[in-house]
Amino acid sequence: MMERTYVMIKPDAMQRGLMGDILSRFEARGLKPVAVKLMRIPRELAERHYGEHKGKSFFDPLIEYITSGPCLCMVWEGDNAIQACRQMMGKTNPQDAAPGTVRGDLALQTGRNLIHGSDSPESARREIELFFNDYELVTYERTMDIWMYE
Ligand code: DAT
Ligand code: MG
């Protein structure tokens, strides 16, 4: 089923020069970029994005971290894209993340885990709406898609 998911490269990945590595994984998998923008996330938006974690012990450090520098905010589209992207990210704690995943290959701590991805169709809808206007989501055909989908 064709899906769209919200993916965000976090400030640690941007500072460490890992943007290209991470993007190339999504691109090579065959996912289609629908929206991309570099953004220093305002605190209020960060708090709304991570609203489900409000009150938890790691909430304040999480907001500090995510607002500490630029993030690359994106929407990727593809067959079962939400789960596919979550798999490519790896488990929340990089120590539990499998090799071959972004977190398993490139990170060591939960509080510096490089990337965010929506965890369900409901969060994908909510997060895409939070970060993008309709006119920023680009619908287009790719000739390569006949080599991606049967
Ligand atoms: P994910 O980013 O894998 O969807 P999540 O939604 O449970 O994970 O948490 C959001 C972010 O909050 C996560 O990427 C890092 C931080 N976080 C989660 N659990 C944490 C914990 N136990 N200690 C410190 N930071 C945590
Ligand atoms: Mg999450």
Identify the three-state secondary structure at position 25. helix
Task: Convert the pLDDT of each residue in 44-83 to its tens digit.
Answer: 999 999 999 999 999 999 999 999 999 999 999 999 999 9
Q: Whose CA is nearest to atom 12 of ligand 1?
A: 62
- Looking at the DSSP assignment, which residues form a beta bridge with residue 78? 3
Q: How far apart are CA 43 and CA 48, in angstroms?
A: 9
Q: Which of 135, 149, 6 is nearest to 79 (CA)?
A: 149
Residues with CB under 6 A from ligand 1: 53, 58, 62, 92, 110-111, 113, 116, 119
Query: Structure pTM?
Result: 0.98
- Give the domains, in start order, of the chain with CATH numbers: 2-147 (3.30.70.141)
pLDDT > 70 in the chain, percent: 100
Q: How far apart are CA 32 and CA 34, in angstroms?
A: 6
Task: Convert the pLDDT of each residue in 83-102 to its tens digit.
Answer: 999 999 999 999 999 999 99
Q: Which ligand is nearest to the CA of 102?
A: 1
Q: Which ligand is nearest to the CA of 113?
A: 1
Is 53 labeled as catalytic in the residue annotation?
A: no
